[in-house]
Amino acid sequence: MRCLIAFLLLMGATSVLAKIEDAPFRMHQATEPGSLEPFRLKSSSSQFLLQNLHRNLFRYDDKARLVPDLAESCERSKDKKTLTCQLKPHLKWSDGTPLTNRDFLKSYERILDPATKAPRADLLFSISGAEDLYRTGKGRLGVSLKGEHSLRFELTRLDPDFEHNLSSLILAPYREGLSSGPYRIQKWEKGQRIRLTRNDSYPNGFRTRPDVEILFIEDDGVALKLFEKGDLHFLRRLPTLYIPKFKKSAEFHWIPLLRLDYLGFGPRLKDQGRLREALSLSLNYEELQRIFHSEGRPGCTGLPPDWIGTEAPLCHGFDPARAKEALKSVEMKKLAPLRMIYSNAGGEDHRRAAEWEQDQWKKNLGLNVQVRGTENKIFLSELRRSGPDLFRRGVGADRPTCRAFLETFKTTHPDNVSQVTDPDFQKTLENLDRATTEAEEKKFCSEALNHLMRNDEFIPLGQMHFAILASRKFSGWTLNSMLSLDLSELKTSTGH
């Protein structure tokens, strides 16, 4: 049935595409967006779309470096607790009406409104009064306006990452039906596609950007067939099975990611250190590396070595003998069967990896682990509600710092599903937050990661790379290590 649906989708999409004469830059995403409000973004499915509809004070360039976007400049006070930003002059929404500092303030206030229940309101908590507003709905937010173009942020702590937060799509100003980025919505065909056309009010990028069309295609195999037929120009994810076939093609792009993917442990395994050790030691990481053509070795944290001040990565080893020895002290009768879940949003690769891990634990430990993939919303709900024994999770960077990855392990973080409550570890995270020098950041980042590895709190899956295919008919797009897709300089290539 699934193959039939995929085939019908392919044929239906192809017949519709053939009627389009002015072919735009055509890409796809797995699901239709539930909302165009950027602060409601919970998964990566709509990320590429929203990144080109909405913009913030800063953005990341193709090297993941922070650069001004809607801001002309931002400057810290001497004590680092005040940040003053000047907007670019004559900013406008896509309908031509002025985009001012009040639009930013209104968005912050809406995100902090308890009734909104914004998932990442914590990105604003460094601002004076922000957390009180979020908890109680009362108080004054420490953001002051001067004229229409100046924003002054009063911070309660140093927060070296605060400028990075002001690049986050989640905190971008929002007006219903309007855009602040390089594109605006021209047409939305429910259940099929969204057509974008350039937003002439956006101050950056090329003035002759081609239109963009985003199709809703859940099946990666269907999307690949459309790309091979020339009906898609940007394949957002190439399954690893096809990497050998396309790796030498000029259309193949291999993007190294700033991302922490790992296997986590749920509440039942919180006090089962020896079982976590056995599970960690019983995976043949080099075999997994070969299967998925990975450049980064699974079992290692995959974070840049210069973040932890060492050239050698932090890694789990493969040692079946030690794994079996550790398992001897575990009363498995009380725990069996173990259950593992993963999100289907990860595509075919997540399914293959989960089945491989299931096989490894059976072969090397004699453990039967039940593995199940589920729709992403259900996956997130189960993580927060019931806590499976094992789960695959990915922490995508909203800023390129060690803090961005480790903050999800804080006991106060809304997405802390691993429940690492050790007081010394939590203290290390607090020290990392307060670090003001590069040496301090490396020290506390290293201490925190070493704790997680030493105590088998998670099984990292190594540095991830994103394989995509992009038609040479278009150029000027950039996709950086934080999976930020910028189409502001998109153009049609000549000679193709």
**CATH code of residue 354:** 3.10.105.10
Is 49 contained in some domain?
Answer: no
The alpha carbon dihedral of 93, 64, 81, 89 has a sign of negative
pLDDT given at position 4: 39
296 with 419, same domain: the answer is yes
Is 178 contained in some domain?
Answer: no
Is 176 contained in some domain?
Answer: no
323 with 457, same domain: the answer is yes
Is 43 contained in some domain?
Answer: no
353 with 453, same domain: the answer is yes
318 with 431, same domain: the answer is yes
Is 47 contained in some domain?
Answer: no
In terms of residue numbers, what domain contains 70? 58-171
Give me 339's structure tokens: 């259950």
454 with 416, same domain: the answer is yes
154 with 273, same domain: the answer is no
Contact 52, 181 (CB under 8 A): yes
Is 290 contained in some domain?
Answer: yes
What tens digit of pLDDT does each residue of 11-24 get? 454 444 444 336 79
Is 46 contained in some domain?
Answer: no
Q: What is the pLDDT along the chain (496 residues), one digit of tens a residue?
A: 444 344 445 545 444 444 433 679 999 998 898 889 988 876 667 889 999 999 999 999 988 889 999 999 999 999 999 999 999 999 999 999 999 999 999 999 999 999 988 888 989 999 999 999 999 999 999 999 999 999 999 999 888 889 999 999 999 999 999 999 999 999 999 999 999 999 999 999 888 899 999 999 988 899 999 999 999 999 999 988 899 999 999 999 999 989 889 999 999 999 999 999 999 999 999 999 999 888 889 999 988 888 887 767 789 999 999 999 999 999 998 898 999 999 998 888 899 999 999 999 999 999 999 999 999 889 988 888 877 999 999 887 778 889 888 988 988 877 777 778 899 999 999 999 888 888 999 999 999 999 999 999 999 999 888 899 999 999 999 999 988 999 999 999 865 5
316 with 426, same domain: the answer is yes
Closest CA to 224 of 249, 242, 247: 242
pLDDT given at position 3: 43
Helices 273-281 and 320-327 meet at what angle, rounded to 10? 160
CATH (domain of 216):
3.40.190.10
371 with 284, same domain: the answer is yes
Is 203 contained in some domain?
Answer: no
CATH (domain of 102):
3.90.76.10
160 with 236, same domain: the answer is no
295 with 433, same domain: the answer is yes
264 with 250, same domain: the answer is no
Stated pTM of the model = 0.82
Q: Which residues contact 199 (CB under 8 A, 6 or more apart)?
A: 94, 179, 180, 181, 182, 183, 184
Specify the number of domains making up the chain.
3
Please, how many CA atoms are within 13 Å of residue 102, restricted to the half-sphere of its CB? 5
What tens digit of pLDDT does each residue of 339-390 get? 999 999 888 889 999 999 999 999 999 999 999 999 988 998 888 887 799 9
- Compute the distance between CA of residue 355 and CA of residue 353 in angstroms, rounded to an integer: 5
pLDDT given at position 2: 45
Say if residue 452 is exposed, middle or buried (CB neighbours under 10 Å; 0-12, 13-18, 19+): buried
18 with 82, same domain: the answer is no
